[in-house]
């Protein structure tokens, strides 16, 4: 019974093990995927890009570029979510121009990473798609 009550209490002390840290990190990833529509979109588009990479049999270096682009977008989206949540925590329901600035900059980082991902996708896939079209 005590262990059930203990798990319902918020943790206020440091993590005691790697496993405990891992559980918190996994919980954070699940939260961002569940609550952020843009992260869900990035996951779907990333999966489509990975399937295209598999279909077109990318080389090792091409896989590295593709994975870098996908992970950069997702990392920026996670950081954007962090910035939004911290701003909302600090400002509550009130508007503050600095909170808007932070949120806009974090969103800009996502757009910047997404533009990089699109560029990588074009460089990797346009020649392969063009070759596929020509051989049909």
Q: Which residues are catalytic?
A: 77
- Please list the alpha-helical segments (H only) found in the chain: 2-8, 18-35, 37-55, 60-91, 97-134
Please name the residues in contact with 31: beta carbons below 8 A apart, sequence gap of 6 or more: none
Q: At what angle do helices 37-55 and 18-35 cross, to 10 degrees?
A: 100
Residue pair 117/70 in contact by the 8 Å Cβ criterion: yes
Task: Give the whole-angstrom CA distance, residue 124 versus residue 58.
Answer: 8
What is the rounded CA–CA span in Å between residue 15 and residue 35? 25
């Amino acid at each position: 019974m005590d262990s059930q009550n203990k798990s319902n209490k918020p943790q206020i002390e440091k993590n005691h093990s790697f496993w405990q840290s891992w559980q918190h990190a996994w919980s954070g990833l699940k939260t961002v995927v569940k609550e952020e529509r843009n992260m869900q979109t990035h996951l779907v588009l990333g999966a489509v890009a990975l399937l295209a990479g598999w279909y077109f049999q990318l080389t090792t270096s091409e896989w590295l570029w593709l994975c870098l682009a996908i992970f950069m977008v997702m990392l920026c989206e996670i950081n954007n979510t962090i910035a939004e949540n911290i701003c909302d925590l600090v400002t509550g329901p009130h508007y503050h121009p600095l909170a808007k600035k932070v949120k806009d900059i974090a969103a800009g980082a996502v757009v910047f990473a997404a533009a990089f991902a699109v560029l990588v996708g074009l460089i990797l896939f346009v020649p392969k798609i063009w070759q596929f079209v020509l051989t049909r």
